[in-house]
């Protein structure tokens, strides 16, 4: 399994940090060529160097997925360099706080645009290559797609919708040989909460508190999620489609606290 993705081409969003970056490197270590999409150009350059050190073909693409034309542009660049797409991993995400009373339409739109609309567009527009190559898709969802949590209304809704998008697409694409699955992490050490408004002190307190909300007593590591994504994208999972896999230290089995 060391080179199980040799000659396979990965297209991944959210690749400059956290789960996305760990996943890009995990696939490259297993021989995959990588088209990595992100917004932070400095981090993209750093990732590109790390990928080249693993001796795989790669292209890094700076794109704002909130723009509808980004999907076409990014996919065209990837296909031009790599020749096609075998695996699509949607790892880009956005979170911010807000209740049913306080969530603004701007915050709602920002959450749904990145967490759902951009995923739908990329899935739809990548299909010609995925169908031709009998590829597959893995969407990065969240425990909040499976369970309700207070204070992050739009995020919960976006991830629940992403899980349903995953299931519907899996059903529709099965006959074409394209599998579609999702992973649903609990709290993982990434940058998403800081980008969503937490300062360093608040984030440290959040991670400490999360030890008590996850039955296994700790938060997750990006590499652990990357391993599950790699499994679902591999031939070892060839009879799995339409699944939402919890990887959350048992978080989904508890009540909100």
Q: What are phi and psi of 169, to 5 degrees?
A: -65, -40
Tokens of 157: 């809704």
Contact between 37 and 74 under an 8 Å Cβ cutoff? The reply is yes
203 among known catalytic residues: no
Alpha-helical (H) ranges within the chain are: 18-29, 41-53, 69-82, 105-112, 118-132, 153-173, 192-195, 200-213, 222-233
Q: How far is CA 156 from the centre of its chain?
A: 15
Please answer whether residues 12 and 20 qualify as being in contact, where contact means their C-beta atoms are separated by less than 8 angstroms.
yes
Half-sphere exposure of 26 (CA within 13 A, CB side): 22
Looking at 5, 11, 27, 155, which residue is catalytic? 155
Measured distance CA(155)–CA(73) in Å, rounded: 26
Task: Starting at the earlier edge strand, list the strands of the sheet with 179-185.
Answer: 58-62, 33-38, 9-12, 87-90, 136-140, 179-185, 244-247
The residues assigned a catalytic role are 155
């Amino acid at each position: 399994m060391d080179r199980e993705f040799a000659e396979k081409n990965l297209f991944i969003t959210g690749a400059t940090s956290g789960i996305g970056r760990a996943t890009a490197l995990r696939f490259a270590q297993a021989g995959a060529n990588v088209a990595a999409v992100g917004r932070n150009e400095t981090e993209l350059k750093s990732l590109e160097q790390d990928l080249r050190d693993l001796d795989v073909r790669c292209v890094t693409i700076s794109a704002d997925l909130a723009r509808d034309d980004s999907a076409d542009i990014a996919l065209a660049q990837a296909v031009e360099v790599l020749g096609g797409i075998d695996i699509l991993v949607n790892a880009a995400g956005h979170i911010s706080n807000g209740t049913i009373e306080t969530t603004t339409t701007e915050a709602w739109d920002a959450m749904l645009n990145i967490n759902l609309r951009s995923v739908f567009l990329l899935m739809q527009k990548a299909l010609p290559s995925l169908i031709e190559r009998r590829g597959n898709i893995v969407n990065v969802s969240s425990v909040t797609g499976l369970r309700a949590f207070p204070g992050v209304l739009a995020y919960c809704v976006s991830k629940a919708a992403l899980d349903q998008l995953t299931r519907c697409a899996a059903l529709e694409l099965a006959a074409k040989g394209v599998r579609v699955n999702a992973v649903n992490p609990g709290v993982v050490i990434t940058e998403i909460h800081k980008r969503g408004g937490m300062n360093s002190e608040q984030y440290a307190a959040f991670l400490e508190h999360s030890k008590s909300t996850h039955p296994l007593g700790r938060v997750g590591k990006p590499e652990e999620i990357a391993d599950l994504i790699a499994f679902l994208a591999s031939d070892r999972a060839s009879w799995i489609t339409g699944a939402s896999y919890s990887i959350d230290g048992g978080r989904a089995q508890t009540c909100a606290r």
